[in-house]
Amino acid sequence: MTLTDITSTGFDVHAIRARFSALRPGGFTYFDAPAGSQVPDEVGDAIARQMREGSGNIGGFYPLSDELTGLVAAARERTAAFFGGEAANIVLGGSMTTLNFALTRAAARDFAAGDEIIVTRLDHEGNVAPWRELALDLGLVLKTADLTDDLLIDVDHLRSLVTDRTRVIAFPLAANTVGSLAQAAEISAIAHQAGALSWVDAVHYAAHRAIDVKAIGADVVLCSAYKFCGPHLGMAHVEPRVASSWRAYKVAARGLDPLGARFETGTLPYEQLAGLVATYDYLDSIGGFEAIAPYEESLAAHLLQTLPPEVHVLGPALADRVPTFLLTIDGLSAESIARSLAAERIGVWKHTFAYEVGLPARLPAGADPIRVGLAHYNTVDEIDLLTAALTAIAQAR
């Protein structure tokens, strides 16, 4: 990938960066997008405006209440479009993990001791811990699908774990550690052939590519807006054929329609919904993922081409990942690398795997990686700054 190729994408990254106070010239350089993206000013302004101009609730007979009712409807409609699904199937809440605990418990009301849940070594704890806790409560069996040598989900091993007691197969659409993409439609088909649910964590994927719940074929797909330049807010798309059979944990005041709303507890964070709608406006204004994905892929290719040979890249080929990388340098700890980069005003993640407990066993012995996560607001110059800094760190060993 040449610089000409990157320029030819027509993606005006400098105009985009001007919309972020956090990305002002001379500031810090962020390569930690998997931990949370930066937020354009217009999203923060929408949140502040909603709080300044009136706080209330839906269900009243006055203009502000009507406005909030319209805001909730708009948030559902725009989120449904983001998922490629239907507004009635959208659940909104505090975070992906919070929603996942609520939805897993509704789904598991009729599970019995000995029923089985399959997760993977690529999963974030947000899509494992809810099932682990249910396993402890109900006597369920939690199984873990292994990975291939290039850190993709080993579908053959996953398939071998399926029995007539399998109730759920949970997996990440893209790993927030190494960026590995899942064979989503194939895994969903395996789940459904076994009469099980397909349960997808799309948090990391949603920052880089358009979600298509119909193509994925999963029963539940969850993500979080703070990974794609939005507020800290979780959302899920739940297929009605399964959701309509679950009895939600909810207060009596919550009705049963629309379907997704029955899984929401209490008052929605209206100011966050205003920010969410503004986030979708922002993404649309820069061309959506049709523009974002090829630009990010070009940046990722440039990174791989310019890394010094002393830096080792873990995980799959570029075609099988989103632009997220675990990198190691022989003889150096992740903390020392991260601190050295921070001294150069470059932010990466010293990966402790506190939320990805299954992956370390599949990494090379002694590997202590940093995580470099690209976002659509990163530039070629920033990539070059990073690779130059890594070269200097490696050569100073």
If DSSP states are collapsed to H, E and C, what string results for 132-159?
HHHHHHHCCEEEEECECCCCCECHHHHH
First and final C-alpha spacing in the chain? 30
CATH for 45-283 (3.40.640.10, 3.90.550.10, 3.30.565.10, 3.40.50.300): 3.40.640.10
Mean pLDDT of 252-278: 85
**Which uninterrupted H or E stretch holds 198?**
strand 197-201
Spell 233-242 as b/e; 16+ CB within 10 A means b: bbbbbbbeee
pLDDT band of 34, cuts 50, 70, 90: very high
CA distance 52 to 130: 36
Q: Do the beta carbons of residue 221 and residue 202 sit within 8 Å? A: yes
CATH 3.40.640.10 domain extents, the chain: 45-283
Residue 48's pLDDT band, with cuts at 50, 70 and 90, is very high
Tens digit of each residue's pLDDT (9 = 90 or more) over 150-200:
999 999 999 999 999 999 999 999 999 999 999 999 999 999 999 999 999
How far apart CA 103 and CA 201 sit, in angstroms, is 13
Predicted pLDDT of residue 55: 84
The answer on pLDDT for 8 being more than 60 is no
**Averaged over 84-112, what is the pLDDT?**
95
Range(s) of the chain covered by CATH 3.90.1150.10: 3-40+288-395
Query: What is the average pLDDT across 232-252?
Result: 90
Averaged pLDDT, 283-311: 97
Name every residue whose Cβ is closer than 8 Å to that of residue 394 and which is 6 or more positions away in sequence: 308, 310, 311, 329, 332
Task: Tell me the average pLDDT of the chain.
Answer: 94
Q: pTM of the full predicted structure? A: 0.95
CATH number, span 3-40+288-395: 3.90.1150.10
- Within 13 A of 332's CA, how many CA atoms are on the CB side? 25
Kindly tell me if the per-residue pLDDT of 351 is higher than 80. no
